[in-house]
Amino acid sequence: MKYAVLTGAYTIDSTNNIIRVTSTSTEDLTVASGTYYVLGDGSSDDLLKAVIDAIDTHTALTGTTSTLTQSVDPAVQPATVSFTLSATATLEWLTSQTTFDETKIGFVVNSTAASVHTGTINPSIYWVANQPHAEDNRGPFEMQTEQTVAVDGTSRTFNRGSMIERRSLAFDFVDPQRTLEDANSSPDTYNSFQSWLNVCRDGRRVKFYTSEISSGTTLEAIGSADDKGTFVLDEEAIASWTPERFSPGLELYGWPLGLRKYIT
């Protein structure tokens, strides 16, 4: 069975590219500019890899690694990020010198001095369904084409653009913790689709992956073979969201989600 994984883009520039790290010295480290996603696969657009590369510019650190674990257990956060450093260090997420948004990778407080640092919240741009999606439809394919018919029956066709792919997902029987912000205690509101949608409804790119159970409630790591494409949320998704409860005695929810292929 396939479970949907949605990861929104986070763009790094001069306004949000600094992470302060203290080891044998305190240094302000720069994350390379670019547009990234929480992926955990070490690719060029993996936000975790970009953070690793920045940490490794510290004079006392090298060979930092990361892990991204995903769970379909609604009682725990959907995803957890962990960094393993080569030496003891403090990742000073909440200092004024750090401009990087730590919530994007699942951190919400300063990490204590250690060589392993594990996020305590779900990354705010990442969501994992706790049930297999009910639908995954390719299309409709939008075509910017118009046709007029003259009085004599002659037809004239005007092609004003390329064919644009859409994708229609539907979720059923999703647990309230993975659905609604107020079904979770702060700061775990980032576990919910509502929270993810509130972050990613601004037109940013969204990558859609699918993953299968590895063991128990843990999903397999996502990779290029699981990548279903890069999209933006369509106009209906950003205008209104209506999670429908299946019955008064069963608090499980379902809703559709429309995606439009991202075009550079």
What is the per-residue pLDDT for 12?
98
Residue 207: helix, strand or coil by DSSP?
Answer: strand
What is the per-residue pLDDT for 161?
80
What is the per-residue pLDDT for 164?
86
- Mean pLDDT value of segment 43-69: 97
Lowest mean pLDDT among 8-12, 38-42, 57-61, 152-156: 152-156
Identity of residue 50: A
How far is Cα 167 from Cα 7, in angstroms, rounded to an integer?
A: 16
207 contacts 7 by C-beta, under 8 angstroms: yes
**Residues in CB range of 224: below 8 A, 6 or more apart:** 41, 43
The whole-chain average pLDDT of the chain stands at 95
- Mean pLDDT value of segment 136-144: 87
What is the per-residue pLDDT for 216?
96
Encode pLDDT of 172-195 as tens digits. 999 999 999 999 998 889 999 999
**Residues in CB range of 197: below 8 A, 6 or more apart:** 233, 237, 241
The gap between the terminal CA atoms of the chain, to the nearest Å, is 32
Report the residue count for the chain.
264
pLDDT band, residue 74 (cuts 50/70/90): very high
**pTM for this entry:** 0.91
CA atoms lying within 13 Å on the CB side of residue 223: 4
Please determine, for residue 140, whether its predicted confidence score (pLDDT) is greater than 90: no
What is the per-residue pLDDT for 99?
98
What is the per-residue pLDDT for 170?
97
CB contact burial 101-130 (16+ within 10 A = b; e otherwise): ebbbbbbbebbeeeeebebebbbbbbbbbb
69 contacts 46 by C-beta, under 8 angstroms: no
CB contact burial 241-260 (16+ within 10 A = b; e otherwise): bebeeeeeeeebbbbbbbbb
Of the candidates 214, 202, 216, 226, which has an alpha carbon nearest to the alpha carbon of residue 6? 226
Encode pLDDT of 204-258 as tens digits. 999 999 999 999 999 999 999 999 999 999 999 999 999 999 998 889 999 999 9
Q: Domain residues of the chain, as ranges?
A: 3-127, 131-202+237-261
